Amino acid sequence: MLNAKVFTVEMNAPDDVSGLKDLLDSGAIKPEEVLAVLGKTEGNGCVNDFTRGFSTMAFKQLLADYLDTSPKEVEKRVAFVMSGGTEGVMTPHATIFAQSEEKASAPAEPGLSIGVAFTRDFLPEELGTMTQVEEVAKAVEAAMAEARIDSVSDVHFVQIKCPLLTSERINDALKRGRKVVVSDTYKSMGYSRAASALGIALALGEVNKEQLADEKIASDWSLYSALASTSAGVELENCEIILMGNSRHSVSKYKIGHSVMEDAIDIQAVLAAMRDAGLEFAGLPTAEQMKRVVNVFAKAEADPTGYVRGRRNTMLTDSDINHTRHARAVVNAVVASVVGDPMVYISGGAEHQGPAGGGPVAVILEK
């Protein structure tokens, strides 16, 4: 039987790995059990956000020390997904996913189960194309198998970290006579997130291959995954997948549920996700129930129309603050007000991740 464990640790700086260190020192987690680190780091979450790479370097080094190996070896077995941007009251933090194999009888009800997988490195000209979509789909299937989840209906959240185009990578492609999908580095983040999300949707049967084509990527918003969360960063050239679901092969004491926010202030979807994970309440959850929430994972994006509930906002015309930053502040505030804790994971840019202007929201609970 699998046994998945999840811990959320506060970070005082991008390179503050003391939370994981404490878990390792106390024996709460064994170093070889660590599957993935999913962080929110305090950069701008856009192109020149180096807090993601800084944090990754620090976590890798820590695990290398505990595993008595090199950072290079660590990155082959552990997924480090750092999402930048902690706007509003969002607390910089990391969620540590660990999993072990245990001899045990099948549990009464399915438990949380985690699968991790990696794609190959992508060429700059492949980013944002069907090649990326298909490679991601294969990796998602591999992660699902690793998590021993039989049915796509038991998958509740798939987080991907994917690359972006830098001036350097663009020039590399151009020198080789190749075209890239977009020459604006900030925009390339959107294309890479979009292709990754459609890869998830393809793997989970939310869209079929006939519906997809290069020109649909970052364009046809009717195609989406209800449980994809993808995040782009300058610090990697392949995609890293963390898949979360419930499995009857897992004796984990945690469970996961999800829902879909229709827009950035969809408080009802947050409540629905909490209920889907197993909480029962009318109105708002009780203080007791709030304490059982380990973390909430949600995506945020500016509505591409510039309107929410028929009302104009200025996210898309704000030339001082990128719209992903506005959007994260909003969704974090809505979730935090419901669970009574600002330390929840909200990641920006939800292309093909839930409906336009909305996004998936997943809740991990202690059973």
Instruction: Restricting to residues 259-288, name those near its own copies by CB under 8 A.
Output: 264-267, 282-284
What does the alpha-carbon distance between residue 104 and residue 88 come to, in Å, rounded to a whole number?
A: 44
113 catalytic? Reply is no
Stretches 17-25, 73-81, 146-154, 310-318: which one binds its own copies (CB under 8 A)? 310-318
If one asks whether residue 53 binds its own copies (CB under 8 A), the answer comes out as yes
Q: Which of residues 312-351 bind its own copies (CB under 8 A)?
A: 312-322, 325-327, 329-334, 336-338, 340-343
Q: Residue 116: beta bridge partners?
A: 242
Helix/strand/coil (H/E/C) assignment for every residue in 241-269 = EEEEEEECCECCCEEEEEEEECCCCCHHH
231 catalytic? Reply is yes
Q: Which of 86, 119, 192, 353 binds its own copies (CB under 8 A)?
A: 86
If one asks whether residue 289 binds its own copies (CB under 8 A), the answer comes out as no
Q: Which of residues 92-151 bind its own copies (CB under 8 A)?
A: 92
| Maximum C-alpha span of the chain | 61
Query: Least distance to its own copies from the beta carbon of 139, Å?
Result: 26
- Catalytic pick among 225, 229, 231, 252: 231
- Catalytic pick among 5, 40, 161, 299: 161
If one asks whether residue 7 binds its own copies (CB under 8 A), the answer comes out as no
If one asks whether residue 178 binds its own copies (CB under 8 A), the answer comes out as no
Enter the tokens of residue 337.
Answer: 């007000």
Cα–Cα distances (Å) from 261 to 35, 255, 366, in that order, read 28, 20, 23
**CB neighbour list of residue 133: distance below 8 Å, 6 or more residues apart:** 195, 196, 198, 199, 202, 212, 217
If one asks whether residue 89 binds its own copies (CB under 8 A), the answer comes out as yes
Q: Phi then psi for 68, rounded to 5 degrees?
A: 55, 50
Query: Least distance to its own copies from the beta carbon of 336, Å?
Result: 5
Residues carrying an active site annotation: 161, 231
